[in-house]
Amino acid sequence: MTRAAASRPRADAPTRSLVVADGVLTLTIAGSWRMDQALPALDPVRQALEATPPPKTLAFACAGVTGWDSLFLTQCRAILALARQRGVTADLAGLPDGVASLLALAEKVPERQGAARTTAHAPFLDRMADLGIGSVQAVHNLLEFLGEVTLAAVALVRGKAVFQRSQLTTLIYQASIDALAIVSLISFLVGLILAFVGAIQLSQFGAQIYVSTIVGIAMIRVMGAIMTGIIMAGRTGAAYAAELGTMQVNEEIDALKTFGFSPTQFLVLPRMIALVLMMPLLCIYADLMGVMGGFVVGVFMLKINPIQYLTHTWQSVPLANFWIGLVHSTIFGVLVAMAGCYRGMHCGRSALGVGQATTSAVVTSILAIVIATAILTVACNIIGV
């Protein structure tokens, strides 16, 4: 919306005229000075104030003003600031009722010195130094968090960890039953996709039956674990970060501390337990759903006998793959829970902070999952499983 469109021509358009007599500059102001009107420019007033010799006094005559709002006040402030610069005394008596007192109110608390921010960029070295200090701080926070989690785990093993058992049940439910639908859908589709990709190549050699091997090994060895890991990072890890972050904003975590509870034991530990226990189970379930996806392609598209497909899967996938998948998913459980809880516990105290914590929880989890997979794959290769 442009200014011209907003301001309709009106009878009481704002006007300002100026008269200089005996060293007194009188501004005669009339009309409606509101936000929906285009106001006259300040230039004539500036020129009159900067004239030589300058006027001694500035006076207002506002009998014709039919209405005003904040915009009028800002104009008055600008004019008075100009007058003060030029050493011209201002007589506020002629201003409409309320204007003078509002202007005085605005001057009552002087501007805090040094409060206004400068937008200038810090020098390059400064920024580098800040970055370095920030990274050291981040590593320090992370190590501190890891230490606290370890201590909490030790307390748990010794049976001295303090948290609510009922909350653990809820968390376990949320991290398992509630996640089944999405895990089913995605694993099934991933199995289906893997089977499709393999089917086109293998059917050229008449080796369709090996689709079952490809799907079986891929899903059970890594894909089941990775897919559940990423799903849980997106739904549960993010939820942990948002929940703990909001508790941080509401001072709930401070309240826990002052009651003498360890927030790590009370909040982080049950979440870690829930995810570490449930991730392997979800992974087994995802393995099954993935094999089912491959089964659908094998049986309905490649016309493989259903019994043959399943027995071939059973025979051609070494059991070691199953254990490797379980190890993966357990480690992913630890990583996702840690990333979510760590980001939540170190959340800034605002809505903005909660958003950032949630984002970085998901990003950290996925990054950690991929890096951990790479390390585990190389490790498995070295020990030859």
Query: Which residue lies nearer to another protein by CB, 1 or 200?
Result: 1
- Does residue 35 bind another protein (CB under 8 A)? yes
Query: Which residue lies nearer to another protein by CB, 108 or 303?
Result: 108
Distance between CA atoms of residues 334 and 26, nearest Å: 77
- Cβ 25 to another protein shortest distance, Å: 22
- Cβ 111 to another protein shortest distance, Å: 4
Give the DSSP H/E element, type plus range, for residue 30.
strand 24-33
- Cβ 14 to another protein shortest distance, Å: 13
Binding mask 48-87 for another protein (x = CB under 8 A): --------------x--xxxxxxx-xx--xx---------
Distance between CA atoms of residues 47 and 132, nearest Å: 53
- Cβ 61 to another protein shortest distance, Å: 13
Bridge-partner residues for 90, per DSSP?
A: 58
Query: Which residue lies nearer to another protein by CB, 2 or 381?
Result: 2
Residues 6+ apart with CB under 8 A from 245: 343, 344, 347, 353, 354, 357, 358
Query: Which residue lies nearer to another protein by CB, 62 or 171?
Result: 62
- Given a contact cutoff of 8 angstroms between Cβ atoms, the answer to whether 344 and 245 are in contact is yes
Name the CA dihedral angle for 222, 223, 225, 231, rounded to a multiple of 10 degrees.
Answer: 150
- Does residue 165 bind another protein (CB under 8 A)? no
Query: Which residue lies nearer to another protein by CB, 137 or 350?
Result: 350
Give the DSSP H/E element, type plus range, for residue 108.
helix 99-108
- Does residue 41 bind another protein (CB under 8 A)? no
- Cβ 110 to another protein shortest distance, Å: 7
55-83 CB burial, b ≥16 within 10 A, e <16:
beebbbebeebeebeeebbebbeebbebb
Using CB under 8 A, pick the residue from 127, 350, 379, 385 that binds another protein: 350
Applying CB under 8 A, the residues found at the interface with another protein are 1-3, 5-7, 34-36, 62, 65-71, 73-74, 77-78, 96-99, 101-102, 105-113, 115-117, 348-353, 355
